[in-house]
Amino acid sequence: MKKSGHVIVGANVAAVGAIEGIRRHDTRSPILTISYETLGSYSKAMLAGYIEGATPEWLEYRGKGYFERMGVECLYGRKVTGLELEKSKLLIEGGEEVGYKNLLLAVGGIPFKPVINGADKKELIFSFTEFLDARQIRESLSKFDSVVVIGAGFTGTEIAYTLNKLNKKVSVIELGDRVLVKALDPRSSGLAESLMREEGIDFYLNDTVEEIEGKKNISGVRLKSGKSIPCQAIITAIGVVPNGQLMSNTALNFNRGLEVDEFMRTNIPNVYGAGDVVKALDITDGQKRPLPLWPLAYQQGIVAGANMAGAKYPYAGGLPMNSLKFLKVPILSAGITTPPDSGYEGIYFNDPKGSFYRSLVLKEGRLKGFVTIGAIDGAGVLTGLIKSQLDMSELKEALLYEKRIGLIRLPREWRNKIFTRRDETGYHD
Ligand SMILES: Cc1cc2nc3c(=O)[nH]c(=O)nc-3n(C[C@H](O)[C@H](O)[C@H](O)COP(=O)(O)OP(=O)(O)OC[C@H]3O[C@@H](n4cnc5c(N)ncnc54)[C@H](O)[C@@H]3O)c2cc1C
């Protein structure tokens, strides 16, 4: 049996964070990462760019030779199929066994795939979650002119926008009554939808695909509303859920996400979790939930890695943030963007000259979230205010109406509180 000190299942950003966390405290112990993908760490935010023609090297997160430089052994293209936690070992497809001192599960999320009539044995049905999906879409571009995207969330709108740019006829089907429902408030979601419609993308809201039409090849989809949309390809993009495939039939606590404590440790003392697979602390409401975002996966990885190497650093929690960089006008949002109940106050400003939009959500005078469109310069101040939870009742109007929010707006004693907050790892969050 192969043996290693720190073993990481997964090789993407949570794994990279962990490697860096481990190496801050332990420069010698062997580290082994195992990933079923053939690329190591790569940016999923750039997958759309890859479909447009960029090289795989362009996606690399830490550049060539990173894992070697960090003294990490990599097994790529190898799937872990089982965990034997009581013996501190895992099994790899093909029968190989690997023993570990500490294990990190950084296995990410898996796409939620709807079951649709007529999908059987049809080609040109894709997910958009990992490099292989992007490669398959790119290699099939010449085989379709029109495509249906299921889901108008972050990845659905991004792939829709990209394929539209590549001269495909794109129709997006969304079960909810608006686009980007998790990231935006209803007004900004309407603005984002108009921007995408202006580019030629069609949206079908409050609807869903009931059947895929066509005998051998896809000829279209039939919606619940009865409408039919001709298309030759389908991309499902209705989100990811924490990847629990390895956790079933083990003693690990997994309930719609791997449960971890503040040290990113699971209920098994030498097993840790980080990234899209875990339920992590959301500082906007103090609840633990899956927060599938790149910077949070990295920070959780650092904390897990440091603790695997014997340190004792708690995770300070994260703030969900989204930036829509593909539209003509930049859109940024963070925290709670739509007041969930009457305990929250929602205020907004749509500049009459049309140059920017901003909405704020507050609770008892404290900022809980915001959306800003076309004026993103002050976003750092706003995220700082969410993290610090200072009472900003008296400043809320200035922060709403001013296009460029300068630090000068804030009382002097606040500036340090907002901009020197560090988590316990010593990294800025
Ligand atoms: C198209 C797209 C665009 C995105 N854009 C943004 C963005 O702009 N901003 C942002 O903050 N976030 C974005 N995200 C989300 C972000 O990419 C994720 O939060 C991040 O990748 C999570 O990192 P992770 O390391 O936890 O998991 P992943 O990146 O999912 O990596 C999981 C790793 O585990 C490995 N693995 C899983 N199971 C096994 C197994 N059984 N055996 C071996 N290996 C296994 C995989 O091969 C992979 O290496 C985007 C996601 C997508 C899909």
Would the pLDDT of 373 be above 60? yes
What residue's CA is closest to ligand 1, atom 6? 45
pLDDT digits (tens, 9 = 90+) for 329-342: 899 999 999 999 99
The reported pLDDT for the residue numbered 75 is: 96
Cβ–ligand 1 contact at 169 (below 6 Å) = no
The reported pLDDT for the residue numbered 388 is: 86
372 Cβ partners below 8 Å, 6+ apart?
331, 332, 333, 356, 357, 358, 378, 379, 382
The alpha carbon of 50 and the centre of ligand 1 are apart by a number of angstroms equal to 16
pTM: 0.94
Q: What is the DSSP letter of 59?
A: H
Cα 219–chain centre separation: 32
The alpha carbon of 299 and the centre of ligand 1 are apart by a number of angstroms equal to 14
Residue 117 bridge partners (DSSP)? 211
Higher pLDDT, 295 or 407: 295
Judge whether 111 and 236 are in contact, CB under 8 Å. Answer: yes
What residue's CA is closest to ligand 1, atom 28? 108
Confidence band (pLDDT; 50, 70, 90) for 428? very low
Cβ–ligand 1 contact at 46 (below 6 Å) = no
What residue's CA is closest to ligand 1, atom 4? 45
Cβ–ligand 1 contact at 246 (below 6 Å) = yes
Which atom belonging to ligand 1 lies closest to the Cα atom of 79? 42
The alpha carbon of 220 and the centre of ligand 1 are apart by a number of angstroms equal to 31
Would the pLDDT of 150 be above 80? yes
The reported pLDDT for the residue numbered 368 is: 95
The reported pLDDT for the residue numbered 336 is: 95
**Which residue, among 183, 132, 140, has the nearest Cα to 158 in the 3D structure?**
183
pLDDT digits (tens, 9 = 90+) for 236-247: 999 899 999 999
Judge whether 117 and 130 are in contact, CB under 8 Å. Answer: no
Q: What is the mean pLDDT of the chain?
A: 92
Region 421-428: mean pLDDT is 43
Q: What is the DSSP letter of 395?
A: G
Angle, in degrees to the nearest 10, between helices 412-419 and 379-388: 90
Cβ–ligand 1 contact at 257 (below 6 Å) = no
pLDDT digits (tens, 9 = 90+) for 71-96: 999 999 999 999 999 999 999 999 99
Cβ–ligand 1 contact at 106 (below 6 Å) = yes
Would the pLDDT of 304 be above 90? yes
pLDDT digits (tens, 9 = 90+) for 255-277: 999 999 999 999 999 999 999 99
Give the H/E segment covering residue 160. Answer: helix 154-165
The alpha carbon of 47 and the centre of ligand 1 are apart by a number of angstroms equal to 11
Which atom belonging to ligand 1 lies closest to the Cα atom of 80? 42
Which atom belonging to ligand 1 lies closest to the Cα atom of 246? 41
The alpha carbon of 65 and the centre of ligand 1 are apart by a number of angstroms equal to 20
Report the alpha-carbon distance of residue 419 to residue 255 in Å, rounded: 35
Percent of the chain with pLDDT over 70: 96
Cβ–ligand 1 contact at 37 (below 6 Å) = yes
The reported pLDDT for the residue numbered 424 is: 40
Which range is least confidently modeled, 68-77, 225-234, 330-339, 403-412? 403-412
Any idea how long the chain is? 429
pLDDT digits (tens, 9 = 90+) for 29-48: 999 999 999 988 999 999 99
3 Cβ partners below 8 Å, 6+ apart?
98, 99, 100
Based on C-alpha coordinates, what's the Rg of the chain? 23
Confidence band (pLDDT; 50, 70, 90) for 19? very high
- Domains, the chain, in order of start with CATH, read 2-110+241-308 (3.50.50.60), 125-238 (3.50.50.60), 329-419 (3.30.390.30)
What residue's CA is closest to ligand 1, atom 3? 45
Would the pLDDT of 212 be above 60? yes
